[in-house]
Structure 1
Amino acid sequence: MRNIKSLNVLQADHLYTALVQAGLSVFRDDDEIERGKNLKCELDKAIEGSQIAIIVFSKGYASSKWCLDELAMILAWENTSLHKAFPVFYDVEPSEVKKQSGSFADAFSRYEEQLINAGSDTETGKELMKKFIHKIVSVTEHKLNRRVLSVPQYPVRMDSQVQNIHHWLQDGSSNANLLVIYGMGGIGKTTIAKIAYNLNFHRFDSSSFVANVNQLISEQPNYILELQNQVLSNVLKGEKGRPYNVDQGSIKIHQAICSKRVLVVLDDVDKLDQCDALLGTRVFYPGCKIIITTRNKGLLRALPAHKEHEVQILDDDESLELFSWHAFRQDHPLDGYEEQSKRFVRCCNGLPLALQVLGSSLRLKVKSIDIWEDELSKL
């Protein structure tokens, strides 16, 4: 957190204390770097090792070249990793940052001059400033109004699972617009798709996440039209255009997806005709990205050129960690429950959903090892 001293000391302490009380490990750059150390190097390490950066924009923020340099470091890390940055506006309006008005106008002008005087020509300096402001606007407009899909509280091994998908969503390539995430039920396909969606939907002109496609259509055969309406409403951002039948819906979706960069996730697809109804003719605007999750491996052969991501079961250590989070609210078993925990884990065969359900069902029974033995005998 940079420039937290721009708030008065009491307010800064309130913010810091609230974060710590919420169970977060908080780094404050104004008093946690030892004297004599390379400040830039230490800050870079702190930023790299953090999952979240809170940027406090105040009236004096942009007057400090050091603050702006550090902001650039934060945003650079966020652009190349799974780090997240969240802005807080204290006594300034978000529009002042976006439009470079008020106290930010003169400060940004001086910053540009410093870039030029440092050896950049005028055009390069202006271009650097343009890119710099674009990053700030991206944070202010999309992070504050973020639409977050709910994900499990303990996503064990999800970072590594999501990383390649995260990079694919950012590459801008139109060589493979379609990604299929496949694997058995309960293995974590939907969770992976949600995390990837949360990290990237703001990079697109519009986006849509359609959950439980096969289940909804199986229970209500006519529900496909409602799902089409959901896609259209999301992609067109509420514009009128509700189709009257499935064929008309497919045409409208085709027209919408062909006209802008969109991110669409279809969760739990089982048949090709479900894809046809919800993606039109599957001809996409350059830069569009479509993610499909499915249990049906046979669907892969029916789809056009696409990338694939097979979700693997958890190994023994990962399984024990996930089970422990749900059973004990920590990443390892309580003393005295190690052997029973391992036996329960073996019953789940590395399936995340089974580990979550079983661990949660045992959480209130940790006061008696006999109860655990009884439950094991039932399994």
Structure 2
Amino acid sequence: MASSSSSIHNKSYLYDVFLSFSGEDTRKTFVDHLFAALDQHGIRTFKDDERLEKGKKINFELLQSIEDSRLYIIVFSKHYASSSWCLNELLKIMECHNKGERFAFPVFYDVDPSEVRKQTGPVGEALAVHMNKNKSEVGKWREALKKASNLSGWDVRKTSNGHEAKAIKSIVERVSLELRYIKMGVDDNLVGMERRMQDLNPCLEIGTKDVRMIGIKGMGGAGKTTERAFKFGLEKLQEQVLRDVLKDNGIIVSGVHEGENLMKNRLCGKEVLIVLDDVDDID
């Protein structure tokens, strides 16, 4: 049987991240900025903008979206626990997290982690609205809140001295790193690569501040990809390099000269490894 780590590598997900949040507190502020930052970095994020009225049950489509996501960001705020919709989202998220294949990250926005863990203060007051209507569910919600608050995450008020933009940057960097790890599954059919990499490493001279160019040639027709430069033009190749390295899908290159200048200005001072496939022309 495949391990849980290999199953997440092989499974195809519709979304990289599912955002769970209280729209009343954060939809037009923190969550809006966080979603924009994730999207700018090419991270496919599900953000539900159409909530059912309080008290309505979570629908099948939303549960399926949670199933179809690799990672989860739970933004706890003062009114998060007042929504049975949010709390049922949380139950489903923790169910997926507890399987050990996917991971949830809590973000504490304008609330203290201990308030979520112990359901005190504004969190306790928000949860109290369910005592008369959903007594059978409250116990499950309390346990989910407690477990989620014990996970590694971010207290926005204490991250980067309370600077929200820097906190969001930290969140995006961590999510990007986690997704990069998930997507770096190695093909077990690539036999003999370890020895070849040992021969290649000295040529790379990793750690030097100079530029190294290495050419690797091989027989044509062995299954390599069609060269993008011929299909789309050099400017599209430059654009793709800039977008991938800088994690910015908003970059547009309208001409080769512009692309050259952008690469000189935006990539100077960065340490990057760029692999160009099917290069048969000096341009």
TM-score norm. by structure 2 comes to 0.47
Please tell me whether Structure 1 or Structure 2 has the larger radius of gyration of its CA atoms. 1
| Structure showing greater relative contact order (alpha-carbon pairs closer than 8 Å, 6 or more residues apart) | 2
Query: When the two structures are superposed, what TM-score results if normalisation uses the length of structure 1?
Result: 0.36
